[in-house]
Chain A
Amino acid sequence: AQKITQTQPGMFVQEKEAVTLDCTYDTSDQSYGLFWYKQPSSGEMIFLIYQGSYDEQNATEGRYSLNFQKARKSANLVISASQLGDSAMYFCAMRELPNTGNQFYFGTGTSLTVIP
Chain B
Amino acid sequence: KAGVTQTPRYLIKTRGQQVTLSCSPISGHRSVSWYQQTPGQGLQFLFEYFSETQRNKGNFPGRFSGRQFSNSRSEMNVSTLELGDSALYLCASSLLRTPSTDTQYFGPGTRLTVL
Knowing A44-B109, A45-B92, A97-B100 are in contact, say whether A102-B43 is a contact too (CB < 8 A).
no
Q: Does A35 reach chain B (CB closer than 8 Å)?
A: yes
**Which of the 9-residue segments B16-24, B48-56, B60-68, B69-77 touches chain A?**
B48-56
Are A100 and B55 within 8 A (Cβ)?
Answer: yes
Chain A interfacial positions (CB closer than 8 Å to B): 31, 33, 35, 37, 42-47, 50, 52, 54, 91, 95, 97-98, 100-109
Which of A31, A44, A52, A106 is close to B42, meaning CB atoms less than 8 Å apart?
Answer: A106
Number of A-B pairs, beta carbon distance below 8 Å? 70
Knowing A100-B55, A102-B33 are in contact, say whether A33-B100 is a contact too (CB < 8 A).
yes
A113 to chain B, nearest CB (A): 18
Give the interface centre of A37, A45, A47, A52 by most chain B CB atoms within 10 Å. A45
Number of interface residues of B (CB under 8 A): 28
**Contacts of B35 on A, CB cut-off 8 Å?**
106
Are B104 and A47 within 8 A (Cβ)?
Answer: yes
Are B33 and A43 within 8 A (Cβ)?
Answer: no
Which of A31, A91, A101, A105 is close to B100, meaning CB atoms less than 8 Å apart?
Answer: A31
Which of B42, B48, B100, B111 is close to A103, meaning CB atoms less than 8 Å apart?
Answer: B48
**Contacts of A33 on B, CB cut-off 8 Å?**
100-102
| CB within 8 Å of A: which B91-105 residues | 92, 94, 96, 99-105
Q: Does B81 reach chain A (CB closer than 8 Å)?
A: no
B81 to chain A, nearest CB (A): 20
Knowing A42-B108, A47-B104 are in contact, say whether A91-B43 is a contact too (CB < 8 A).
yes
Knowing A33-B101, A109-B42 are in contact, say whether A101-B56 is a contact too (CB < 8 A).
yes
Knowing A33-B101, A35-B103, A98-B56 are in contact, say whether A43-B48 is a contact too (CB < 8 A).
no
**Contacts of A109 on B, CB cut-off 8 Å?**
42-43
**Contacts of A100 on B, CB cut-off 8 Å?**
55-56
Knowing A43-B108, A101-B48, A102-B33 are in contact, say whether A50-B55 is a contact too (CB < 8 A).
no
For B43, the closest partner residue in chain A by CB is: A106
